[in-house]
Chain A
Amino acid sequence: MSGSDTSWLGQSLPRHEDQRLLTGRGRFLADTARGCVHACFVRSTQAHARVRSVKTGSAAALPGVLAVLTAEDLGLDGAHLPMLHEPHPGFAEVTRFAMSDPRLPILASVRVHYVGQPIAVVVAESRHVAEDAAELVEVEYETLPPVLDPTAALAPDAPTLHAHLPTNEAARIEVGFGDVDEARRAAAVTVSDTLRIGRHGAVPLECRGVVARVDDRRDRVEVWTSTQIPHLVQQALCRVTGWARDEVRVAVPDVGGGFGTKANVYAEEVVVPVAARKLGRDIAWVEDRQEYLMSAAQGRDQVHHATLAVDANGRVLSWEDDFVVDVGASSLWTAGIIANTAIHLMGPYRVPAMRVTGRAAYTNKTIVAQYRGAGRPEACFALERCLDAAARRLGMSPEEIRRVNLLTADDLPYPRPIPYRDGVPISYDGRDYRACFDSCLEMLPRTVCDELRENYPEHDLGYGVATYMEATGRGPYETGRVRLLPSGRFEVATGAASAGQGHETTFAQVAADALRVSPDRIRVGNGDTDPVTYGVGTFASRSAVLAGSAVHLAATRLADRACGYAAMLLDTDAAGVVLGAGGFRADDGRVVDWTDLAAAFGPGGRLEGQPSLDELAQFRPQTVTWTMGVHAVVVGVHRDTGLTSVLRYAVAHEGGAEINPRIVEGQVIGGVAQGIGGALLEEFRYSPEGQPTSTTFADYLLPGMCEVPQIAVKHLYVPTAGNPIGVRGAGESGAIAAYAAIAAAVDDAVGGGDWRVTSVPIAPEQVRAAIARRSAAVAS
């Protein structure tokens, strides 16, 4: 048996799953649909309307249709999904946090709140027939004026969108410390701005999908869904239906990307299993792209009114922000988004006084979930844009003003006078944020613009830099399970489902390290409520921290117990047995290995009838651990068209131990790509009637290979005692500061004047107009 003396942590092993995924042998949701009948949802065509009637007769009569089901037919009348997050009571009290529950029906029958909202489901022999039938369902609407602007939605005279609520306020929060008014009086410069981050979101290669299979023998339904959070799906499904946990298995096949949109529970994930049980048929719903771009949860969509006061040296004196989040018709994650935004507004700087108020508003746009960063990019954009504005007013460089304010080794660890969302007082646990900043500038200094200029005669080049904080590894807990198989190999399961992040590789490395075997002896299953009864899921840069630690704990415990069994086989005392790369060694030199141990559990073996080697562990962190980082970018702005190209990009970050450095690097690069998309291209747009107009890839523009340059990543290792494997989360790092950095670079390229980027995605026509004004000014 191959063992190992080397640590498997910190090695850039090739990803185990890539063998499968890159050779077309992945099994995604649609690949599990064999033998199923197909569901197609009848969705609202109106942004805001009363539903007068839903006539399903002619649809149901179409040959090949099994059923056309409304909320009433499914016993889901009035049913709604539970909220997925509420902050800790201690946090809520300090921040005067309040939120409302929109109770958006699982299938709408009285009122519709956005185009794409599910109203009924058609079940048919094929998706083709199901779509034909869905067209025949007649929904009679009485249209109501749509509310599409979040600020207007919060106005006192705005029509209320959810009948049981007094206003359209989804949540509110106040975070503050220090005397802002006093601090502002001493300011040399005060800058105020309104900053907007457009509505965009995760657009994974694989859309959503659910397969529900009825298992009559076990009297349960098996639900396969393309999700990041199978346990929360199971929990919500049980809550809505009243089914017991053991009546539902939720399992996750290969998932082609999630990015937060799939860290959500959807009406479709309830309807498909309920319909399957009702009809006694296995049902598949495989979402298509248009449906996805219309009805899957979106993100961002915030407007910030921010004021930053600095002294003559650029030191921050006070920081105020009043922001509004547009959560569309509903969000099960409103609390998380609004709290993340408020908390992350502090950035990695010395901020002596802060006053933040945030509100979330309901509108008649598509529902919202957490999207990579979930409030952090928005907070970063507001603060970093104001720092740039203050620097400009003071005649300082953007680099200087940041160096003046960044926390250094002298400041850190840096407690903040407010609690984190888990109620624990915030303390930045980093090493030297200014050093991290300098190391990013070393990788990509401003002077690179001068070197590149002659290659881009039609472009103006600009340089931008931005920093971010990211609280990672939020609790409450995650589960890991490690089991010795009869062959002497191992199976690992966790509550953290992989959507492509490489869990099969990283969790195998963690387990291998504790078990002293090669990772190729370890198989990691994807999210599944069968092997792991309780779990939370993959989001908020938490899987490496929490699930990784849980796997570590389970594997360590397994190894400890195995020493006892090895001692039995070696007829010696457990205290004298040591687990090493070669196996279990007695003090007299005799050795048994994991294969011997596994075999001994077999019939007639020395361990026959003994409790098996199968360990489950939960890891509960005390609080989050912080990742800090810096983005630097060079852009080229095409003078004649205002189109922006990202030419060079670098990220330096303070992270913890890396389980697999190449995977961490990939996370950062992928995040930057999504940030480039949000800064320059991607936007879910709506017509004045509330019709979504970005429902194909001709209208919703994703960054491709040509839009994303090579990205240099530097990892600065700063250990953390917050978890047994010393890791910090990095899943969202790449996305957070990209918006602010690119905006700064575009400003720099356009150069001077009053114009600056205040909203993303950056509109080329605005950039072009700014360039034209500049040229006119030069000419006159």
Chain B
Amino acid sequence: MKPAPFAYVRADTAADAIALIDEDPDAKFLAGGQSLLTLMNLRLARPARVVDIGGLGELNRVFDDADSVLVGATVRHRAFETDPLLRRLVPLAADAARHIGHVAIRNQGTLGGTLAHADPAAELPLVMVTLGATMYAESRRRGRRAIPAQDFFVSHYTSELEPDELLTWVRIPTLLPREGWGFVEYARRHGDFAIAGAAAVVGLRPDGTVERVRAGLLNVGDRPLLVSGGASMSGCRPDDELWRDLAGEWVRQANPPENADYVRDVARAALTRALRAAYDRAVSAGGE
């Protein structure tokens, strides 16, 4: 489990990293290394050159931007759990992040890394899709472009990023008043890739009835799956049964490649609980 030979270069700035990748589109960015290094050690990935961006301090920052938060690509998963600002502004991500592997992994793994890796079982991609985040990619040729999270994930381990693009920032909308969130996943053991998982945001009207529901599933297909349609909860005060029915309807949109009935069953349980948690939080956030 030693990697094939590769060249290593460390970028000092984001501009530097973009320039380095521009020279050599066969190179790969190395951020926290929690996926790439494993793949390299298994010789499943064989980049001729890696450009190390893990230490880029300029991207390891968070800006509170009123109705959204701008998070740098090298912000660690652990920060979503521990950083008071992030916890307050993106509590859904804090809830999701604790399911990512183990603390040692979360101390290294980065937001940009997990998004670019585009593993359909990963937690933060689902969070971004559910919250409607926007990814910013930069390259010498194209400059900066914004990609909505929903369009960002293409398939297994494939994102919209071009080989010469660096994912620099992610703009995550913060929750509105009267919005609540829920994240639930089930795995064989804590820290394993989930059998299935769900994220949900529920927003209430001032009268306490549901205004909107946004939810998604992880590891039920080739990318994080945003679910929609079905019976409208708009104007309702749903009880557990209703949420369960809605989840049952929504998981039918999933087509898990293996063990489909079981995975849908688990996804339904996760989604039901995520929706309920989101609703309960919205209610206690002042919906009524």
Contact = CB atoms under 8 A, between A and B. Distances in A.
A772 B4 contact: no
A647 to B, nearest CB: 15
Contacts of B42: 290, 696
Interface string B241-284: 00000000000000000010110011011000000000000000
Contact of A640 (B1, B4, B259, B269): B269
Interface in B180-205: 186, 188-190, 192-193, 195
A25 to B, nearest CB: 23
A765 B189 CA distance: 15
Contacts of A765: 259, 261-262
Contacts of B142: none
Interface in A123-167: 127-128, 131-132, 135
A768 B262 contact: yes
A769 B269 CA distance: 14
Interface string B10-28: 0000000000000000000
Interface stretch (A197-205, A277-285, A700-708): A700-708
A132 B4 contact: yes
A289 B1 CA distance: 8
B8 to A, nearest CB: 14
Given A289-B1, A640-B269, A641-B269, A707 B189 contact: yes
B229 interface: no
A288 interface: yes
B5 interface: yes
29 contacts: A131-B2, A132-B4, A135-B4, A289-B1, A291-B1, A640-B265, A640-B268, A641-B195, A641-B265, A641-B266, A641-B269, A681-B188, A681-B189, A696-B42, A698-B192, A698-B193, A701-B188, A701-B192, A703-B189, A706-B189, A764-B188, A764-B195, A764-B262, A765-B259, A768-B262, A768-B265, A768-B266, A769-B262, A772-B265
Contacts of A704: 189
B186 A643 contact: yes
B192 A641 contact: no
Overall SS of chain B's interface: loop
- Most A Cβ at <10 Å: residue of B5, B190, B259, B266: B266
Most chain B Cβ neighbours within 10 Å, of A291, A698, A765, A769: A765
Nearest to B3: A128
Given A289-B1, A640-B186, A769-B262, 8 more contacts: A131-B2, A132-B5, A640-B265, A698-B192, A704-B189, A706-B190, A765-B261, A768-B265
Interface in B1-54: 1-2, 4-5, 42-43
A641 B272 CA distance: 13
Given A290-B1, A765-B262, A772-B265, A641 B186 contact: yes
A614 to B, nearest CB: 45
Given A290-B42, A641-B195, A772-B265, A128 B2 contact: yes
Contacts, number: 51
A312 B146 CA distance: 76
A707 B192 CA distance: 13
A638 B270 CA distance: 12
B29 to A, nearest CB: 23
Interface in A591-645: 638, 640-643
A703 B190 CA distance: 11
A642 B195 CA distance: 11
A698 B261 CA distance: 22
Contacts of A132: 4-5
A473 to B, nearest CB: 36
Nearest to B195: A641
A128 B2 CA distance: 6
A764 to B, nearest CB: 7
Contacts of B2: 127-128, 131
Interface string A742-780: 000000000000000000000011001100100000000
Contacts of B262: 642, 764-765, 768-769
A741 B20 CA distance: 59
B202 to A, nearest CB: 20
Interface of A: 127-128, 131-132, 135, 288-291, 638, 640-643, 681, 696, 698, 701, 703-704, 706-707, 764-765, 768-769, 772
Interface in B192-228: 192-193, 195
B123 to A, nearest CB: 15
A301 to B, nearest CB: 21
B90 to A, nearest CB: 26
Instruction: Identify the interface centre among B5, B188, B268: most chain A CB within 10 Å of its CB.
Output: B188
A20 to B, nearest CB: 25
6 cross-chain pairs, A with B, having the tightest CB-CB distances, nearest first: A640-B269, A765-B262, A288-B1, A128-B2, A641-B186, A131-B2
Contacts of B268: 640
A701 B189 CA distance: 8
Nearest to B193: A698
A770 to B, nearest CB: 12
A473 B4 CA distance: 48
Interface in B89-107: none
A768 B265 CA distance: 9
Contacts of B4: 132, 135
Contacts of B193: 698
A408 B269 CA distance: 49
Contacts of B265: 640-641, 768, 772
Nearest to B42: A290
A625 B138 CA distance: 72
Nearest to B265: A768
Contacts of B259: 765
Interface centre among A127, A641, A643 (most CB of B within 10 A): A641
A39 to B, nearest CB: 13
Nearest to A701: B188
A290 B2 CA distance: 11
A288 B43 CA distance: 13
A701 B261 CA distance: 22
A289 B259 CA distance: 28
Nearest to A772: B265
A124 B85 CA distance: 52
A707 B187 CA distance: 12
A765 B196 CA distance: 13
A775 to B, nearest CB: 12
B192 A640 contact: no
B243 to A, nearest CB: 13
Contacts of B189: 681, 701, 703-704, 706-707
A288 B259 CA distance: 31
Contacts of B5: 128, 132
Nearest to B190: A706
A122 B193 CA distance: 35
Contacts of A128: 2, 5
Contacts of B269: 640-641
Interface centre among B189, B192, B261, B269 (most CB of A within 10 A): B189
B190 A643 contact: no
Contacts of A701: 188-189, 192
B250 to A, nearest CB: 15
A221 B265 CA distance: 60
A640 B190 contact: no
Nearest to A642: B262
A314 B4 CA distance: 64
A768 B261 CA distance: 10
A768 B269 CA distance: 12
A765 B186 CA distance: 13
A146 to B, nearest CB: 21
A772 B269 CA distance: 13
A409 B26 CA distance: 76
A640 B266 contact: yes
A699 to B, nearest CB: 10
A131 B259 CA distance: 36
Nearest to B269: A640
A207 to B, nearest CB: 10
Interface in B105-151: none
A706 B192 CA distance: 12
